[in-house]
């Protein structure tokens, strides 16, 4: 198989669909956006869509399929949301029920799929600008924290904002804010810079999800709203059924990262 | 009464609520964003929200209230959506039923209010940058056209994109695109520049809504997705009940125009 960074999104999804790729998608198909997935029954879809509308920084929606529909139209041409992600997770009433490489057998006519923007896009842009992204250098997961910043509730869904943190050198701070601001549909500008305690993070070295990273002298912790938020909030609300991608195993879209820049 | 440009949004809404202001809100409360209004019964709210999500350029949503709720929370602190707009229009099955200065007597527990971004914000930014906005100079309505660019449909709602047009001098074109791109929640960057025929406009001098404006030598027509789109589409779909603001009679919000800039 070709180097996975060089694969086209179509070829990568085909390999995923055929079970040839089962691993996390970070670094695959350079230049293309990847997406988080949340699938919910139709009777919860309005509340979830409203939650996303009210909280666009943690929940920037790239595409919503019609109920029962599994063919993607916008962010992927001709893909199948039931097979084109390397690993899915199924939750019932908030309880983890299992991991699957496809969800065809679980499909129902009332399921609504939400594809949600992912920070890989702005991380690529930072790296292209010569700004180090620590957890990528360290080959670990980005550290994520539950904050005291409550999302605006919407019906069934409420809960705190989860943030991801990247230490940024002071000299790169302005450019980092400028670059990430250009991408509102993949979390956009940071929501906090500096003292973690101000957003309710007690110990920066003990993230709630992902791995701790070193903050070097002269670096400032910078916090972005994180795509884990909608899943965490949905899980906490214990919907009777929720299907998500398995962490890191994303939907590779046909959208070029550059297409997501508003300016 | 104070000069209406100088009124605070709170004072303006109070005057509107008390029936002291019944006229279009253009030019009131300088520096603050204004919003379009669409109110629909709850059973159509999901389709409308999905339509907006799929068509963010014509339908940038600033706030959605819970069903039955009439107190605004985000874009206005403490306002009442039933009284704080100078003039409302009521449509039943797509037929105009009348104009009202408040809609308290029509209120129902199943009504969902959508506040939608308005181009006044980016027009202010253009004017501040010294770029002439022709219809404002001419004190007329912006010319609007139905295009051949179909919106992405969502359930009950489908129809063409309506655009507004502003002639821009070639020397100002780059800056105009940069400035308006900063405001994705009030229609953002233009969707077309140049030949009107390419988006299905037969006669630039005969707009479908609003007033024709002069295009001077050296100017290029620039087209933005227009907030009339969601109303036009909703009307065409003939919902059993839809309440909107009367054209030009907007909701004056507490959001500063600058807060809407993403960068």
What's the pLDDT at B232?
Answer: 86
Judged against a pLDDT cut of 60, whether residue A1 lies above it is answered with no
Please state the rounded mean pLDDT for residues A111-130. 96
The domain A9-118+234-258: what is its CATH number? Answer: 3.40.1640.10
Rounded to the nearest integer, the mean pLDDT of chain A is 95
* B50 with A64: Cβ contact below 8 A: yes
What's the pLDDT at A231?
Answer: 82
Q: Which residues of B touch A (CB under 8 A)?
A: 45-46, 49-50, 52-54, 61, 64, 66, 74, 152, 154-155, 178, 181-182, 184, 188-189, 262-263
* pTM of the complete model: 0.93
Judged against a pLDDT cut of 80, whether residue A3 lies above it is answered with no
Domain A120-229 CATH (choose: 3.90.1150.10, 3.30.470.10, 3.40.50.300, 3.30.2040.10): 3.30.2040.10
d(CA B65, CA A99): 37
Alpha carbon separation from B89 to A3, B101, B116, B134 (Å, rounded): 59, 9, 16, 28
Please state the rounded mean pLDDT for residues A112-116. 97
Q: Is the separation of the CB atoms in A162 and A228 below 8 Å?
A: yes
Q: Which of B131, B118, B115 is nearest to B188 (CA)?
A: B118
Q: Strands, E, within A84-218: which ranges?
A: 88-92, 95-100, 111-117, 144-150, 160-169, 192-193
Which one is predicted more confidently, B233 or B252? B252
What's the pLDDT at B128?
Answer: 94
Mutate to test the interface with B, among A38, A40, A51, A53 (most CBs of B within 10 A): A53
The residue extents of the domains of chain A are 9-118+234-258, 120-229
Give percent of chain B above pLDDT 70.
Answer: 99
Tell me the pLDDT tens digit for each residue of A197-212: 999 999 999 999 999 9
- When CB atoms are compared, the residue of A49, A154, A184 closest to B50 is A49
Give percent of chain B above pLDDT 90.
Answer: 90
* B49 with A54: Cβ contact below 8 A: no
Judged against a pLDDT cut of 70, whether residue B2 lies above it is answered with no
Judged against a pLDDT cut of 70, whether residue A2 lies above it is answered with no
What's the pLDDT at B78?
Answer: 86
**∠ at Cα B53 (B48, B56), nearest 5°?**
110
- When CB atoms are compared, the residue of A46, A61, A263 closest to B45 is A46
| A4: phi then psi, degrees, rounded to nearest 5 | -70, -25
SS in 3 state form for chain B?
A: CCCCCCCCHHHHHHHHHCCCCCCCCCCCCCCEEEEEEEEEEHHHHHHHHHHHHHCCCCCCEEEECCCCCCECCCCCCCCECCCCCCCEEEEECCEEEEEECCCHHHCCCCEEEEEEECCHHHHHHHHHCCCCCHHHHCCCCCCEEEEEEECCCECCECCEEEEEEEEEEHHHHHHHHHHHHCCHHHCCCCCEECCHHHHCCCCCCCCCECCCCCCCCCEEEEEEECCHHHHHHHHHCCCCCEEEECCCCCEEEEEEHHHHCCC
B19 by Cβ neighbours in 10 Å (0-12 / 13-18 / 19+) ranks as exposed
* A53 with B74: Cβ contact below 8 A: no
- When CB atoms are compared, the residue of B46, B64, B263 closest to A45 is B46
d(CA B241, CA B41): 7
Tell me the pLDDT tens digit for each residue of B124-174: 999 999 999 999 999 999 999 999 999 999 999 999 999 999 999 999 999
d(CA B28, CA B12): 8
Alpha carbon separation from B147 to A71, A121, A168, B115 (Å, rounded): 28, 32, 46, 24
The domain B121-230: what is its CATH number? Answer: 3.30.2040.10
Of A31-40, A165-174, A230-239, B117-126, the one with minimum mean pLDDT is: A230-239
- Per-residue pLDDT band for B1 (boundaries 50, 70, 90) equals low
| A6: phi then psi, degrees, rounded to nearest 5 | -90, -10
Alpha carbon separation from B148 to A37, A160, A244, B160, B221 (Å, rounded): 32, 43, 37, 6, 17
Rounded to the nearest integer, the mean pLDDT of chain B is 95
The domain B9-119+234-260: what is its CATH number? Answer: 3.40.1640.10
Judged against a pLDDT cut of 60, whether residue A230 lies above it is answered with yes
CA distance A179 to chain B (A): 9
Predicted-complex ipTM score: 0.91
- Give the other-Cβ count within 10 Å of B66's Cβ: 17
Q: How far does Cα A138 stand from its chain's mean position?
A: 20
Q: Which of B55, B153, B156 is nearest to A61 (CA)?
A: B55
- When CB atoms are compared, the residue of B50, B53, B262 closest to A188 is B262
Q: Which residues of A touch B64 (CB under 8 A)?
A: 50, 53-54
B113 beta partners:
B39
SS3 A136: helix
SS3 A17: helix
* A182 with B262: Cβ contact below 8 A: yes
Please state the rounded mean pLDDT for residues B13-28. 93
- When CB atoms are compared, the residue of A64, A181, A262 closest to B188 is A262
Judged against a pLDDT cut of 60, whether residue B215 lies above it is answered with yes
d(CA B9, CA B255): 9
User: Which chain A residue lies closest to B54 (C-alpha atoms)?
Assistant: A63
Sign of the CA dihedral with B177 first, then B60, B153, and B82 last: negative
* B262 with A49: Cβ contact below 8 A: no
Q: Which of A177, A203, A204 is nearest to A189 (CA)?
A: A177
Q: Is the separation of the CB atoms in A60 and A186 below 8 Å?
A: yes
What's the pLDDT at A105?
Answer: 97
CA dihedral A233, A234, A237, A239 (to 10 degrees): 180
Judged against a pLDDT cut of 90, whether residue B3 lies above it is answered with no
CA distance A98 to chain B (A): 30
Count Cβ–Cβ pairs < 8 Å, chain A vs chain B: 52
Name residues whose C-beta falls within 8 Å of residue A213's C-beta, 6 or more positions apart in sequence: A134, A135, A138, A140, A142, A143, A165, A166, A167
| A8: phi then psi, degrees, rounded to nearest 5 | -75, 155
* A53 with B50: Cβ contact below 8 A: no
Residue B216, token pair as written in the block:
């001077």
Q: Is the separation of the CB atoms in A80 and A71 below 8 Å?
A: yes
* A184 with B262: Cβ contact below 8 A: yes
Q: Is the separation of the CB atoms in B164 and B211 below 8 Å?
A: no
- Per-residue pLDDT band for B234 (boundaries 50, 70, 90) equals confident
- Per-residue pLDDT band for B230 (boundaries 50, 70, 90) equals confident
Judged against a pLDDT cut of 80, whether residue B225 lies above it is answered with yes
d(CA B184, CA B260): 8
């Amino acid at each position: 198989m070709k180097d996975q960074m060089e694969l086209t999104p179509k070829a990568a999804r085909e390999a995923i669909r055929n079970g040839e790729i089962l691993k996390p998608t970070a670094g695959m198909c350079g230049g293309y956006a990847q997406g988080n997935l949340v699938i919910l029954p139709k009777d919860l879809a309005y509340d979830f869509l409203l939650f996303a509308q009210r909280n666009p920084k943690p929940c920037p929606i790239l595409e919503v399929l019609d109920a029962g529909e599994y063919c993607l139209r916008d962010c992927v041409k001709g893909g199948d949301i039931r097979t084109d992600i390397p690993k899915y997770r199924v939750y019932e009433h908030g309880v983890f029920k299992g991991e699957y490489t496809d969800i065809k057998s679980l499909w129902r006519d009332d399921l609504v799929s939400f594809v949600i923007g992912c920070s890989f896009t702005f991380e690529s842009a930072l790296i292209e600008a010569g700004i180090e992204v620590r957890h990528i250098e360290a080959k670990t997961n980005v550290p994520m924290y539950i904050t005291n910043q409550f999302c605006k509730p919407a019906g069934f869904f409420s809960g705190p904002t989860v943030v991801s943190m990247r230490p940024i050198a002071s000299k790169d701070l302005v450019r980092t804010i400028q670059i990430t601001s250009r991408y509102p549909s993949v979390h956009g500008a940071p929501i906090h810079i500096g003292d973690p305690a101000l957003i309710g993070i007690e110990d920066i070295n003990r993230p709630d999800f992902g791995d701790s990273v070193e903050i070097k002298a002269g670096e400032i912790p910078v916090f972005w709203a994180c795509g884990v938020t909608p899943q965490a909030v949905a899980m906490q609300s214990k919907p009777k059924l929720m299907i998500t991608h398995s962490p890191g195993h994303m939907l590779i879209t046909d959208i070029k990262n550059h297409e997501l820049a508003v300016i």
